[in-house]
Structure 1
Amino acid sequence: MAFEDEKYDVTSPSASTMDGAATPTHTAFSDDEYAGMDPRFSKASTSATPETVPWPGNKFVIRERASGRAIALVDGELRLSSWDCAGDRGAHWICEEKDGWLGFRNPVSNTYMGKDNQGNFYAKANWHKAWECFCAMRHPEGGYILLMRNWGELLKMAVGKDGCKLVTTRDEGTVWEFLKL
């Protein structure tokens, strides 16, 4: 372990708080495997990309944090799919804002991600209205939980039991990464 500012004396008056308790006079750096890693990069991420905040006016690929698979339009259906970074525009989403809510529009189909009344997600709406409104909640371990309006509550987006379908849940939800394009 290496220390910065070891030249200060912890017993000096300038090294303590108002009540006389000792204030640390150095910064410790771990010698573990992450010592040289840029702090902007997530240690738990499936890739070495900076964490990105979903923000209106930007284009993203939205990936499941655990698998690296992306939310994509596949033959007109919204699914979790392997992502080809070389040009799979079915996995591109333009983030928009309306009345404080986020919306995600696919630039190929020009349709918004939303949900039906059965708890399934789709990308068929040509508008950004109540069933296409999302908010993103930061997950404590990195990434985001996508929340969807459902009358007087917020439901989480999750990967369905088949591993591909996207569904609403009141449980934990899926953690997503936003890769800015």
Structure 2
Amino acid sequence: MDLNQVDPTPFGIHDDDSSRYTGTTPLESVATDVPDHHDPLGSAKPSCLLVPWPGSTYIIRSVSSGHVITLLDGQILLTQPGGRGSIYWACVETKGWLGFRNIVSGKFLGHNRKGQLSCHANGHGEWEHFCNRPRPHGGCVLLMEHFDSLRQIGMQEEQGEEKPAKIESGDGVGWEVLKV
């Protein structure tokens, strides 16, 4: 097709029409000088949601309590930051699944037969698969593979003590994944 033969008149508008073609509206318009008090998002602007990314190290913190996932004496607990125990987790990826390797022990965060979080695996296997989903009220939900479904990470009571675990129903804990 010869571009010199293309009719520049918009489709349906000709000299005998009573309307006149006056120009085109750009496909996209950008307002550059809108004062903040006219911003339609106002104070509800989305915050920068940090998602875990392979190759970085993180602290995983509960939004509600401020406690962090900690490897302490071979167990995974939710503890105050700054105490004894290891709280740093290197993020890895295998076949699209995220995994968290404790930087002190070299073992992977996963779950045991009871569904409680554990840190005993030498590799990033199926019991150490994680993904996350943003929560509407902030933070994210951490999910673990459970056969053909995903289960949230929440708290499970065992012998009068609450421990992080995969839960079948209810709300999981809201987590913040903080890059260090």
Alignment TM-score, normalising by the size of structure 1 = 0.70
Match of 1:119 in 2: 115
How far, CA to CA, are the matches of 1:103 and 1:149 in structure 2?
Answer: 11
The one of 62, 72, 75 equivalent to 2:73 is 75
How far, CA to CA, are the matches of 1:120 and 1:88 in structure 2?
Answer: 21
Residues 1:128 and 1:67: Cα distance change in structure 2 (over 3 Å): same
Unaligned 5+ residue runs, structure 2? Answer: 1-32
Q: How far is the alpha carbon of 1:159 from its aligned partner? A: 2.1
Q: Does 1:138 align with 2:134?
A: yes
Task: Name the SS of the counterpart of 2:86 in structure 1.
Answer: helix
How far, CA to CA, are the matches of 2:93 and 2:120 in structure 1?
Answer: 18
Task: Name the SS of the counterpart of 1:83 in structure 2.
Answer: coil
Match of 1:172 in 2: 171
Name the Cα RMSD after superposition: 3.0
Runs of 4 or more consecutive aligned structure 1 residues displaced over 4 Å after TM superposition: 25-28
Contact 2:72-2:84 at 8 Å conserved across structures: no
Identity in percent: 35
1:66 partner letter: S
Contact 1:134-1:148 at 8 Å conserved across structures: yes
Contact 2:110-2:121 at 8 Å conserved across structures: yes
Q: How far is the alpha carbon of 1:28 from its aligned partner? A: 5.1
2:123 partner letter: W
What does residue range 2-17 of structure 1 map to in structure 2 within 5 Å? Answer: none
Contact 1:51-1:178 at 8 Å conserved across structures: no
Aligned length: 147
2:37 partner letter: F
Q: How far is the alpha carbon of 1:167 from its aligned partner? A: 1.4
Match of 2:147 in 1: 151
Q: Does 1:90 align with 2:86?
A: yes
Q: How far is the alpha carbon of 1:101 from its aligned partner? A: 0.2
1:117-152 CA-partner distances (Å, limit 9, x unpaired): 211110111110100000011111121101000111
Alignment TM-score, normalising by the size of structure 2 = 0.71
Larger Rg: 2
Task: Name the SS of the counterpart of 1:141 in structure 2.
Answer: coil
Match of 2:57 in 1: 59
How far, CA to CA, are the matches of 1:89 and 1:81 in structure 2?
Answer: 9
Contact 1:80-1:159 at 8 Å conserved across structures: no
Contact 2:71-2:119 at 8 Å conserved across structures: yes
Q: How far is the alpha carbon of 1:114 from its aligned partner? A: 0.5
